[in-house]
Amino acid sequence: MPQVKSFAAHGFVGVICAKHSIEENDIVAEHADAAKKFDPSRAAAYDRQARLALAGYEAMHELAACCLAAALGSGGARRLLLAGVGTGQDVATIAALEPSWRFTATDPSPPMIEIARSRLDELGLLDRTELRLGLVADLPETPHDGATLIGVLHHLPDAASRAGLLADIARRLAPGAPLVLGGNYRTYDSEPLLRAAWRERWRQHGVAPEEAQAQFERITGGVVPPASEAEVLDLLAEAGFGRVTRFFQSLFWGGWIAFRNADQAL
C-alpha cells in the first residue's frame, strides 16, 4: 500500500457515444447520477451548508492553492483542470493567489455551473476560466499543469467510478503535475464520536435541531465515502499518482496533494 506523509490541517454537454466501452458507460452514468443530487435548491444553498458541514472549508481551499503554488512555482503561464468545480470556490481562491494562472473548470450539474458562472463574472474571472458543463471524460486530453478534485469523490457510489474519474484526470495532466484531492475518507458510522461532534457543529452555529437533522440526513443520504485513507491512497496509485502528502484534516474530511507519475503510461 502507498504511504502518505502528513503535515497538518462543472458550457460542455458530454455525450456518451461509441468511444466509451460498456464499463466506461456505466461509470459515466454513475457520475451523471451523482450530479443530479445538486438540484437548483441544493446548489443555491451549497456554499452556506458546505461551510457548516466542513469546519475549515475556506482554509482547505486556501491551503490547496498554497500547495499548488508551492508545487508549480508562483507566477508563470499555468493552466489548471478543476474537476467538479461546483460554485467556483476553487477558481476564486487559486486565482486570487496566482493572477496569471488560467483554468478549465468542469461540473456535470447545470445549477452549479450557472452559480459558478455568475460568481466568476462578478469577480472578473471569466476571461481566465473556461467553464464546461459535463464530465472530465469528455474533455480533450490536453495536458494541464495541475488539477483539483475537491468535494467530489465521496459522492460517487463505488471504487470503480472513483478510480475512473481519477484516471480521467490523470490522462489530462502533464507528467509530474500535481493534483489536490479533498473529500471524506471515513464512513459516517465508523467514528461515532466524530459523527456526534459533526452534529454539535450545526448546533454551535445556531441551527435548530430539526433543521440540523434534516440537513444531516440530506448530506449523508446515499453517500458512501471511501472507508479509509488507505483506500484513497490505493485509488490514487491505481490512477497513476504518487508522492502523496496529506495537508488537511477535519473530522471525516481530508485533503491531499499527489503527483502524476512521470514514468507511467495511462
- DSSP assignment letter at 151: S
For residue 10, what is its C-alpha cell?
A: 462543472
Q: Is 122 helix (H, G, I), strand (E, B) or coil?
A: helix
Phi, psi of 107 (to 5 degrees): -160, 140
Q: Is 242 helix (H, G, I), strand (E, B) or coil?
A: strand
First to last CA, the chain: 20
Domains in the chain with CATH codes: 5-190+226-260 (3.40.50.150)
- Which pLDDT band, with edges at 50, 70 and 90, does 260 fall under? very high
Contact 149, 181 (CB under 8 A): yes
Contact 142, 115 (CB under 8 A): no
Contact 69, 48 (CB under 8 A): no
pLDDT in tens, 46-102: 667 778 888 899 999 999 999 999 999 998 899 999 999 999 999 999 999 999 999
pLDDT at 117: 95
Once rounded to an integer, what is the mean pLDDT over residues 99-120?
Answer: 95
Once rounded to an integer, what is the mean pLDDT over residues 231-254?
Answer: 97
Contact 159, 235 (CB under 8 A): yes
- Which of 97-106, 142-151, 173-182, 195-204 has the least mean pLDDT? 195-204
Q: Cα–Cα distance between 177 and 172 in angstroms, integer?
A: 10
Give the Å distances, CA to CA, from 114 to 14, 66, 109, 123, 158. 16, 27, 9, 14, 28
Q: Is 90 exceeded by the pLDDT of residue 149?
A: yes
pLDDT at 49: 76
> Looking at the chain, how many residues does it have?
266
Tell me the torsion sign for CA atoms 174, 175, 176, 179.
Answer: positive
Q: Is the pTM of this model over 0.75?
A: yes
Contact 261, 21 (CB under 8 A): no
For residue 237, what is its C-alpha cell?
A: 496509485
Q: Is 80 exceeded by the pLDDT of residue 43?
A: no
Q: Cα–Cα distance between 71 and 94 in angstroms, integer?
A: 13
Crossing angle (nearest 10°) for helices 89-97 and 57-72: 50
Q: Cα–Cα distance between 104 and 99 in angstroms, integer?
A: 15
Q: Which amino acid is at 182?
A: G
pLDDT at 41: 52
Instruction: Assign residue 209 a region (left: φ > 0; alpha: ψ between -120 and 50; beta: otherwise).
Output: alpha
